[in-house]
Structure 1
């Protein structure tokens, strides 16, 4: 029998499975059988899929409004330790860095994801004290609309540069890359989260990428 490998999905609300928001008070989440992270487990029977999506998570910024616990770099070492040994970490972050309050460009966001990659590659959280492998996923471009439009003011234009910058960063770091913007679009309801039709498409593409890059 083949050994079961473990993959950690490290992301934000779109890994969490947050539904498009009509109002800031909306807390809807897709069921595990609907969200892409849950669907991924069914497509990868030889993998144990750990869902670690936190709404509002940034790459490495303390959020002055939503709280410092949204800082991905701060929580990553603890997650690597608590879930080791990990064969693979999938990073899909960067969307929340587009919030106007952070004032960062697409290049800096890609470098910030690169800092997370370096943290993983420098760890001993993989099998037998090695480092886990990494797959970086560039999130799809956003739309400034609905209840989140003001929070993400100015982010839409920058979001169209993310995939190119992240792909270059992944090449420099020597890790696998996938552009989710070639696969799915954000919902026109809030311009950030995915409609239900996007989940199976993303799950199948990520399953294919994992199978191809990490056979």
Structure 2
């Protein structure tokens, strides 16, 4: 059985902007991907609200720094065949980083951790990596989110290009989630159920190609 780790933030967790809660289990993109791939593949959803690529965020009770937590997650779920990383939206907060360049640098650190972290699981090769650019932020009338992500709409539109170049540089797969999904103007950051499902459906072909299934 092949194992896929989906490492992400609230988009992977399944945040519902309308309710403030969580999308139904069947609507979250890792579970959509699991259904599409079948039972011979194990898809592990590792999503955390507010997670960044590699930056500290001091307002939460949990550690949201993706680079600090990733090695632990890799050890926990080893052996892993493919790591899908969908992060960067929270890096758009000015209080966190505020630029697409910073998010790309954080994503590079995550790729390095997957490529070079010794998981001591008997694997001779590290897992493959699929970098996913999140759908760009959009304008919202939600005053708190608008202020929290000030300048983020423009910066987030640059992520796909930065991530694609990074994927080429490091020999990773790349998928632009903005090609199949859009954020909701309810808060400008999260996705409705249909757009969340669309990411899982959109990822299936490239995942099959990368795993040779």
TM-score normalized with structure 2 length = 0.92
Give ranges in structure 1 of 5+ residues lacking alignment.
Answer: none
**For the residues of structure 2 that align with 1:131 and 1:199, how far apart are their CA atoms?**
28
Partner residue, 1:49: 43
- Aligned residues between the structures: 208
How far apart are residue 196 of structure 1 and its match?
A: 1.4
Partner residue, 1:66: 60
Partner residue, 1:153: 150
**For the residues of structure 2 that align with 1:43 and 1:159, how far apart are their CA atoms?**
29
**For the residues of structure 2 that align with 1:60 and 1:67, how far apart are their CA atoms?**
17
Give ranges in structure 2 of 5+ residues lacking alignment.
Answer: none
Partner residue, 1:186: 183
Deviates more, 1:168-177 or 1:143-152: 143-152
The 1:127–1:20 alpha-carbon spacing in structure 2 relative to 1, beyond 3 Å, is farther
Partner residue, 1:136: 131
Q: Verify the 8 A CA contact 1:56 1:96 in the aligned structure 2.
A: yes
Alignment equivalent of 1:112, drawn from 76, 98, 106:
106
What CA deviation, in whole Å up to 9, does each residue of 1:120-143 have, x standing for no partner?
000234762431110000001102
What CA deviation, in whole Å up to 9, does each residue of 1:45-65 have, x standing for no partner?
131000000000001111022
Partner residue, 2:23: 30
How far apart are residue 209 of structure 1 and its match?
A: 1.2
TM-score normalized with structure 1 length = 0.92
Deviates more, 1:97-106 or 1:158-167: 97-106
**For the residues of structure 2 that align with 1:83 and 1:213, how far apart are their CA atoms?**
19
C-alpha RMSD of matched pairs (Å): 1.5
How far apart are residue 32 of structure 1 and its match?
A: 1.2
What CA deviation, in whole Å up to 9, does each residue of 1:190-209 have, x standing for no partner?
11111111123211111111
How far apart are residue 40 of structure 1 and its match?
A: 1.2
Q: Verify the 8 A CA contact 1:123 1:130 in the aligned structure 2.
A: no
Deviates more, 1:185-194 or 1:98-107: 98-107
Partner residue, 1:177: 174
How far apart are residue 21 of structure 1 and its match?
A: 4.6
How far apart are residue 103 of structure 1 and its match?
A: 3.6
**For the residues of structure 1 that align with 2:193 and 2:18, how far apart are their CA atoms?**
13
**For the residues of structure 1 that align with 2:18 and 2:57, how far apart are their CA atoms?**
20
